[in-house]
Structure 1
């Protein structure tokens, strides 16, 4: 098969991630359904974290088995550094994005009075006629909306905006983590094809394609009930699945354990961050039994797809 044909199959393997994306368009806002979807995605990502860490550690393990302490130490340190970079960078980026979103959706403040103070009327006699003037305020005109009510509504609106923005950020983070992982998988496909192991490369494509179908669901689970646009879902699919194609193209002409370890380490760190976030979401639902069962189901689904690939000889 020509390099172009292998690259095309790599693209197909990556684009199967789109099969799970339509779930993100579910209309239901039922708390139980959202808790189940998030927990199922958590289980899939826990399996994926184990899978990524196993692949990243494999070259280190082989070097240690051959008593190559220097290379093993260097690869191990690289793996640790990339895991830390993937985890901590997303932590700080998310903190910045939350602060920015809250600032943009800040509650409505009372109008400033003549003296520049919010909600005050600092006339020359302010503070001289009892308790109310002491605060420099005047009763609202009949029929005018109460400032407290307007502020309360604005706070609720800001909370809803931040909730939706948080769901979009989490879905994007999942897509980035899976994309890094899929780039490393693409490298494996391209390397196998370049070494003449075409049957093995095709088997990898089928197996990774099956994996990606479940990963697409994991990406959009936080978006259930928010009705994201098809364009945004397509963007998430390209971020998560597109790197498989890029990795396949690059892997046919270039292969390096160092590069593979670096991308797998970054993927592991970002996936670990997402798992932490999803577990926090699961705890807030208060549905411990449902969450436990769905996490278990997600882990089983991950191992089941991996078992199919292994049984096929990969």
Structure 2
């Protein structure tokens, strides 16, 4: 029998196993083909996570709807579950859209210093007065945003953090309901999954030309893994199906957004064959991890 402090410690450990996959980000002296391959493997892992997260959220919603249809529970609750899932999915998609827009705007403002260009001996024009120049600048800055591996890694970490918060809720709620053994099994299972998720964050960084600093990797680990501890803490205090569905669907929407970005970027980094091979291996690695956890009774 574990006590409450031990539960919180285990919740933290389950989240911070994400650090196990982050050292891949410091790989250097790799070819462009290998960089594209690593990016594709990350995409494959994220594709699996999208499927897994959506399946977990949808199962909860579907069970509530089936129970309501059979007259065993309230139809209002089932409708609210569905509404929360759809709202969370949409919010997850548009949340990162807003983040991207704000980040791109900051880049544009930072670089929008008036520049004087001498056209003739008598005439000086301000290049930023031209709408065409401004549009081209915005497109250039947005392209820089999409190709920035640090920003991409941050968005992935945020998405995984939402997912891990929901996992933490499951751990805490299992403990609060008296199912201590289930809580322990969930910790072990989620810890195994999170190690794979760490590679999903590291992939874009390994594909870049700059080595990330230890402090940056530490921040990514905290953003992605820390919410597991917070979810465990909150889940042990209060149980809410709505909260679980909300954070799972938020994570799904955010992961879809990030994965599409990575795919568009990856197509420019390597050949389609290498891209598909990397995605396949990423999905395979995630599936095998999930299978091993399932066979272990977790």
Q: Is the shorter-chain TM-score for this pair beyond 0.5, marking a shared fold?
A: yes
* Residues 102, 162 of structure 1: 8 Å contact kept: no
Structure 1: distance between partners of 2:278 and 2:18: 21
* 1:151-300 equivalences in 2 (<5 Å): 162=144, 166-224=148-206, 225=208, 226-300=210-284
List gaps (5 residues or longer) in structure 2.
Answer: 126-136
Structure 2: distance between partners of 1:244 and 1:166: 27
Structure with a larger share of its residues in helix: 2
Q: Which residue of 2 aligns with 1:10?
A: 11
Q: Which residue of 2 aligns with 1:119?
A: 118
Structure 1: distance between partners of 2:269 and 2:281: 18
* Residues 15, 229 of structure 2: 8 Å contact kept: yes
Structure 2: distance between partners of 1:189 and 1:163: 36
Q: Does 1:308 align with 2:268?
A: no
Structure 1: distance between partners of 2:181 and 2:286: 24
* Residues 37, 270 of structure 2: 8 Å contact kept: no
Structure 2: distance between partners of 1:165 and 1:291: 17
Larger Rg: 1
Q: Does 1:88 align with 2:94?
A: yes
Structure 2: distance between partners of 1:215 and 1:106: 38
Q: Which residue of 2 aligns with 1:37?
A: 38
Other structure's SS at 2:87 match = helix
Structure 2: distance between partners of 1:46 and 1:232: 25
Give the drift of 1:71: 2.1
Structure 2: distance between partners of 1:248 and 1:184: 9
Structure 1: distance between partners of 2:293 and 2:188: 8
Structure 2: distance between partners of 1:108 and 1:42: 40
Give the drift of 1:162: 3.3
* Residues 147, 265 of structure 2: 8 Å contact kept: no
Give the drift of 1:250: 1.2
Other structure's SS at 1:10 match = helix
* Residues 146, 152 of structure 2: 8 Å contact kept: no
Other structure's SS at 1:285 match = coil
Of residues 44-53 and 278-287 in structure 1, the stretch that sits farther from structure 2 once superposed is 278-287
Give the drift of 1:83: 0.7
Q: Which residue of 1 aligns with 2:130?
A: none
Of residues 201-210 and 28-37 in structure 1, the stretch that sits farther from structure 2 once superposed is 28-37
What TM-score results when the alignment is normalised by the length of structure 1? 0.82
Give the drift of 1:179: 0.4
Q: Which residue of 2 aligns with 1:140?
A: none
* Residues 203, 312 of structure 1: 8 Å contact kept: no
Give the drift of 1:107: 8.4
Structure 2: distance between partners of 1:217 and 1:100: 29
Q: Which residue of 1 aligns with 2:21?
A: 20
RMSD value, Cα: 2.3
